[in-house]
Amino acid sequence: MKESLKIFYQDLRGSFKDLLPIIVVVAFFQIFIVQAMPENLTSIIIGLLIVAVGLALFIRGLELGIFPVGENLATDFAKKGSLFWLLTFAFTIGFSTTVAEPALIAIADKAAFISDGKIDSFFLRMTVAFSVGFAIALGTFRILVGHPIQYYIITGYILVVSMTFFAPVEIIGLAYDSGGVTTSTVTVPLVAALGIGLASSIKGRNPAIDGFGLIAFASLMPMIFVQGYGIIVYSVGEASKKVEEVTEVVVAKAEAATYNFDWGNILFELLGVIKDIAPILIVIFFFQYVIIRKKVPHLDRIIVGIILVILGLYAFIIGLEMGLFPIGESIAYQLTAMKNNLLIYLFAFLIGFSTTMAEPALLAIAIKAEEISEGNINQSALRIIVAFGVAIGIALGSYRIVAGDPIHYYIIVGYILVIILTYFAPKYIVPIAYDSGGVTTSTVTVPLVAALGLGLAENIEGRNPLIDGFGLIAFASLFPMLTVMAYGIYANMMKNKLNKGNIK
């Protein structure tokens, strides 16, 4: 018990350290730029404390429950030797976790309303969920056969860019963003554990090179499938008025965002978290007991870990709603109203960096990357490099909205740079770089980034929120790949230089 409390204290201290950049950024803009203290300051402080506790519980739950069960399943499937059941499991995990994703449901409903029902919310969700299921199955197949990941990813990028020229302009930003909202906080650690466990179990595979990459597939495929869906069903109608109505509602909600603390709301939120995680647990235990026909090792510890993940994620979400979302969204809209573009870019950069540093999904991946890279990757350094990439991406994406430039020109140039850096980057860093694009757009980042994009598109004359407001999440997914590969190239150069110096 004493040892467990000591570990939790260390996790809690780390959580406060991760939240510090967000607190500093928000406090700076609130005090020196907006020059007004928020009315619900006590609620905000309590919310931040709850976020820190939730993050600590979540990480401890991952270590006890999600990581071990994912890796054990991968090992058992590798021993079973059934390609059909392994790929079925991979597809089912991808589909079941995506179809219940709250961010996807919200975006699908909004798209249906804006398109006057031309895009069906249910079919859009099924399209994205199917694409993620297909992506995880394809990524699993790649690990089995040992193909280099870059061939698949580069082919995917070429397909995304090619389809952009045929897709309706109204669907492009939504399609790009759909790749970012499919990789949820719980899905990412489980999928990462599956890939690493599988690569560790197959002779001739390297966990660092072959184990990562599944999340990259899950981020890429929805872009292709949603553009294909848009080409088939979308037609330009009287959407602009509806877009403005939707944005006005979103803006009003953001400005009035407060958390009502009552027992009914608490129970509702907790049930919501359990509902989101339930499909994952059903799939895991079905395949473990019905297909593998083997008991879960250390079941009591796994159950404790899953309970900690649920409680941690629940506390994390409650804390965000109490502390970060109201103040972050209000600052975003106040800045857009000021019409000061430099302040907008600065806020976009700083909020991108600070929110990414607190992302649970990125923390989970960084822990695994450090663990299996044999000292080549430092957890803290990786997170800082990824956060820097997100910051650049969101700042540049904000500039794109202000300037009114078409999104695909930026994305095409970005993908070309990714392809070039892939050629020069060390092999061990490439799959992690690809995955880093998917883990940066999760629980913390997406709501604030979406609010900023819609706020800019609504307040700047001549911008259409449907065409211009979406796309910031795509920028936040693209640029970390560039910064992580650049970091890998630099680290490799320094290592080679040091080795040459030692030889002399």
3-19 pLDDT per residue, tens? 777 777 787 887 787 77
Most confident segment among 260-264, 333-337, 354-358: 354-358
- 412 burial (CB, 10 Å; 0-12 / 13-18 / 19+) is middle
Side chain identity, residue 498? L
pLDDT at position 29: 84
Query: How many CB atoms are located within 10 Å of the residue 144 CB?
Result: 17
Handedness of CA 192, 197, 200, 203 (dihedral sign): negative
Query: How many CB atoms are located within 10 Å of the residue 98 CB?
Result: 27
pLDDT at position 249: 41
Query: How many CB atoms are located within 10 Å of the residue 85 CB?
Result: 14
Handedness of CA 55, 19, 11, 485 (dihedral sign): positive
pLDDT at 94 over 50: yes
CA pair distance 471, 450, nearest whole angstrom:
9
Q: Is the CB of residue 189 less than 8 Å from the CB of residue 364?
A: yes
pLDDT at position 255: 40
Q: Which residue has the higher pLDDT, 208 or 87?
A: 87
Residue with tokens 């899905």: 187
Rounded to a whole number, what is the distance in angstroms from the first to the last CA of the chain?
53
Q: To the nearest whole number, what is the mean pLDDT of the chain?
A: 80
Nearest to 204 by CA among 135, 138, 136, 147: 147
CA pair distance 497, 495, nearest whole angstrom:
5
- 348-349-353 Cα angle (round to 5): 115
In this prediction, residue 185 has a pLDDT band, given cuts at 50, 70 and 90, of low
Q: Which residue has the higher pLDDT, 372 or 180?
A: 372
CA pair distance 383, 389, nearest whole angstrom:
10
pLDDT at 309 over 80: yes
DSSP H or E segment with residue 330 = helix 325-338
Q: How many residues does the chain have?
A: 504
Q: What is the largest CA-CA distance in the chain?
A: 72
CA pair distance 217, 445, nearest whole angstrom:
20
Mean pLDDT computed over 83-109 = 80
Tokens of 102: 């709250």
pLDDT at position 237: 45
Buried b (16+ CB within 10 A) or exposed e, 432-442: bbbbbbbbbbb
pLDDT at 444 over 70: no
Domain spans of the chain, in order of start: 81-255+281-292+327-503
Q: Is the CB of residue 162 less than 8 Å from the CB of residue 420?
A: no
Q: Which residue has the higher pLDDT, 221 or 491?
A: 221
Query: How many CB atoms are located within 10 Å of the residue 32 CB?
Result: 8
Portion of the chain with pLDDT greater than 70, in percent: 85
